[in-house]
Structure 1
Amino acid sequence: MAYVKATAILPEELISEIQKYVQGETIYIPKTVASHQKWGTRSGTRKLIDDRNALMKRAFKNGRTIDQLADEYYLAIETVKKVVYSK
């Protein structure tokens, strides 16, 4: 998260109004709910994990054991169970 000077982006009237409540402090202004993205969406990590999980489910349906999948994907057995038994 990069810091931006308020004077560079906000109108002077708004800065004056904010200064009634906060002066010389760092404040965080959250995104709106509509612009929030789920974890890994921007980086593509979510898609990679979803694709991996789909491959694991398919392999399990085709006869691979949970132990084999845990070894192949370097995951704990409980993690593999969560993946293959989830809907």
Structure 2
Amino acid sequence: MKYVKVETILPDNLVKEIQKYIQGEYIYIPCQLEKRKKWGENSGSKIYIKDRNENIRSKYISGYKIKNLAEEFFLSEHSIRKIVYTKNK
């Protein structure tokens, strides 16, 4: 990250306005070129969890017991119940 003097890039009136809130401190202004992605969109975790939950629901509907699903998916019975009893969005 490269430090830049504020006077070289911002107009004087904006510098004075910022100085009302902060003086002599460093501030970081993040780049907002693109909209921030939601949790799991970059890594694929969101899709994996969605598919896993659909699989759990379909197995429950076809007759699997909550205890067996908990063992198969390495989740607690409470977590399986939350997945099974939550409506699909």
Asked whether the two chains share a fold, i.e. TM above 0.5, the reply is yes
Match of 2:60?
60
Structure 2 stretches lacking a partner, 5+ long: none
Relative to the length of structure 2, the TM-score reads: 0.70
| 1:14-49 Cα shifts (integer Å, max 9, x gaps) | 2972873343425354859x8132211111100000
Structure 1 stretches lacking a partner, 5+ long: none
More helix by share: 1
Percent identical:
26
| Secondary structure class of the residue paired with 1:12 | helix
Q: How many residues align?
A: 81
Match of 1:13?
9
Match of 1:25?
26
Relative to the length of structure 1, the TM-score reads: 0.72
**Greater C-alpha Rg:** 2
1:57 & 1:11 partners in 2: Cα distance? 59
